[in-house]
Structures are given as C-alpha cells and as structure tokens.
C-alpha cells in the first residue's frame, strides 16, 4: 500500500509542481502572486476540450494549439492589466490578479456553462504493475509530461538568452535594465511562460477530475503552498515542495483518513514557516528600518 500511495502522491505532486513553478516564475520577475494561474489552466482545459471534441483534432495538435492560446491569454493579462499597474504596490498587483481570476471565471461560465464536463481519457485505464505496486497509467503519463516540461525549462533557463535574462532580472532588475536587457519584453515572456505551464496543468488534470470553471481552485491553492514552501524564488524548491505535499497528503489520506488529506499541506506550511520563514530554499532578506 505504501508504494502505491507514494507513486500516486508523486503523480499528484507533479501536477501541483506545474502551478507552483508558474507562480514562482511570475513572482521572481514581477514580485506579483498570480491568483489567476489556476484559471489560466482552466481556460486551457476548456479549449483543449473544444479542440478535441468539437473540431476532432489530433491530441498533440490540440495540446499545441491550447498552449499557444493560453500563452496568448497570459500575454493579454500582462499587457492590458499588469503593465499599467507595474509601478503600483504589491497589494494593487495582488488585487488585480484576483480581479482577473473572477473575470476568467465569469467568461468561462458564460461561454461553456457551469456544468461539469468529462474530458476524453487518452490513456489505458488498466492499472500498471510497477516496482511491486499498482499504478494508474494516467499517473505515469502525467509524470512523464511533467518531467519533459522540467527538462525544457532547465534548458531554457540555463542556455537561452531569454532564460538567462529572466534570471538576471530576478537577481537585480534595475541593473539588468541598465545592462540593456529588455525588461518589459522579458516580463511579457514570463507571463507567456505561465500560460504555457497552465495549459499543460489544465490538460493533465482534466481527465483525472472534470472540466468546470472551479476545477483548478484546489490545485492553485496547493501549488501556491508548494511555491511558498520552496521559498517563492526557487524553481527547484517549488518542485520539491509540490512533490512533498503530494506524497504527504496522499499518505495522510491513506493511513489517517480522507478528512486529514486536505489539511496536511497547510499543517506542513505552518510548521515550516514557524521555523524557517523564508521557505525551504529561500534566502533571508534583511530590511533596514
């Protein structure tokens, strides 16, 4: 039972990781917590459903089109909402993303309705025997996708000019601008990346649960907790935090009871912040008064 719970927790945590990394990527370059990240993913799930069912497109073509469309949503949010408020304080930016959250909720309900919809299952529902445990093929597929996305992100941040520029802006945005880095373009690219990650999060979560305007609310909360757990500036920290949360809540649900599962991540974050306020991989910043 332990092995099965562990594998299931890793699969769940990998989905939290997509949201957690997106939260960290936006926060690092804009100092903004994007409360609309879950709704980006929800829009992606609805669009993928339309491409697959209404237009009967190939699965991989639908994924590509969905990713492009949700990246466009991220860019529009940055250009129309966040850029005019770029010089505002954190509370104004935080409230703006909350407004975007409700706007996307309303738009999705208006276009697609509020009834839950099934998403086509693209994997064999027959359980797979792996390392002496029984694992859903869907979990393995999701973990494979998330691993591939993680490799792409690593290559992007490590070897591309845009990725290195993002890291420079995270370290010191003023110096980066003085060095000729196009900060506004990189910020727009950051929001596009959050849309890219959201598209995959929505597509991977949808077959497991359902498609509806509120489908990503719990995933967003767990992803945000994972981002804080990792320190809000650390992408590896967000991933490790998401996996720890996925495994721990799954074990708690399996051994202690389902009613303990939802509370577990919040107990973890309260305990961690009590002893390490900057998060697992965060850096303590000093402020002179």
Answer whether residue 226 is part of any domain: no
Which residue range(s) make up the domain with 193? 17-214
- Whole-prediction pTM: 0.91
Measured CA to CA, the distance from residue 18 to residue 288 in angstroms comes to 35
Pair of tokens at residue 231? 């320190």
Q: How confident is the model at residue 283 (pLDDT cuts 50, 70, 90)?
A: low
Measured CA to CA, the distance from residue 258 to residue 229 in angstroms comes to 23
Answer whether residue 4 is part of any domain: no
> For residue 135, what pLDDT is reported?
75
Confirm if 226 and 242 have CB atoms less than 8 A apart: yes
Measured CA to CA, the distance from residue 265 to residue 280 in angstroms comes to 14
Answer whether residue 49 is part of any domain: yes
Higher pLDDT, 203 or 274: 203
Measured in whole angstroms, the distance separating CA 242 from the mean position of its chain's CA atoms is: 10
| Tokens 């107990």 sit on residue | 267
Answer whether residue 110 is part of any domain: yes
- Could you read off the pLDDT of 234-257 as tens digits, one per residue? 888 999 999 999 999 988 888 887
Q: DSSP characters for 173-218?
A: HHHHHHTT--HHHHHHHHHHHHHHHHHHHHHHHTTTS-BSTTTTHH
Measured CA to CA, the distance from residue 211 to residue 46 in angstroms comes to 7
Answer whether residue 264 is part of any domain: no
Query: What's the average model confidence in pLDDT over 28-45?
Result: 93
> For residue 107, what pLDDT is reported?
94
**Domains contained in the chain, number:** 1
Answer whether residue 68 is part of any domain: yes
Confirm if 34 and 26 have CB atoms less than 8 A apart: yes
3-state secondary structure of 133: strand
Answer whether residue 78 is part of any domain: yes
- Could you read off the pLDDT of 72-114 as tens digits, one per residue? 999 999 999 999 998 888 889 999 999 999 999 999 999 999 8
């Amino acid at each position: 039972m332990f092995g099965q719970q562990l594998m299931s927790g890793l699969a769940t945590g990998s989905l939290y990781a997509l949201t957690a990394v997106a939260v960290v990527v936006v926060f690092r370059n804009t100092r903004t917590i994007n409360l609309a990240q879950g709704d980006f993913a929800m829009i992606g799930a609805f669009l993928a459903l339309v491409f697959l069912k209404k237009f009967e497109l190939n699965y991989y073509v639908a994924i590509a089109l969905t990713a492009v469309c949700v990246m466009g949503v991220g860019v529009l949010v940055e250009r129309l909402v966040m850029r005019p408020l770029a010089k505002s304080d954190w509370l104004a930016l935080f409230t703006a993303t909350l407004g975007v959250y409700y706007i996307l909720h309303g738009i999705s309900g208006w276009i697609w309705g509020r009834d839950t919809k099934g998403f086509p299952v693209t994997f064999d529902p027959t359980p797979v025997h792996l390392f002496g445990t029984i694992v859903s093929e869907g979990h393995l597929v999701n973990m494979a996708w998330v691993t591939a996305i993680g490799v792409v992100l690593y290559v992007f941040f490590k070897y591309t000019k845009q990725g290195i520029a993002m890291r420079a802006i995270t370290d010191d945005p003023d110096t980066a601008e003085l060095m000729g880095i196009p900060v506004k373009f990189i910020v727009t690219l950051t929001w596009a990346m959050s849309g890219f990650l959201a598209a995959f999060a929505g597509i991977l979560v949808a077959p497991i649960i359902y498609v509806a305007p509120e489908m990503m609310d719990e995933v967003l909360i767990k992803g945000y907790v994972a981002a804080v757990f990792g320190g809000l500036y650390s992408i590896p920290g967000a991933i490790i935090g998401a996996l720890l949360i996925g495994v721990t809540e799954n074990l708690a649900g399996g051994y202690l009871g389902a009613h303990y599962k939802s509370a577990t991540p919040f107990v973890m974050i309260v305990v961690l912040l009590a002893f390490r306020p900057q998060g697992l991989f965060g850096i303590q910043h000093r402020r002179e008064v």
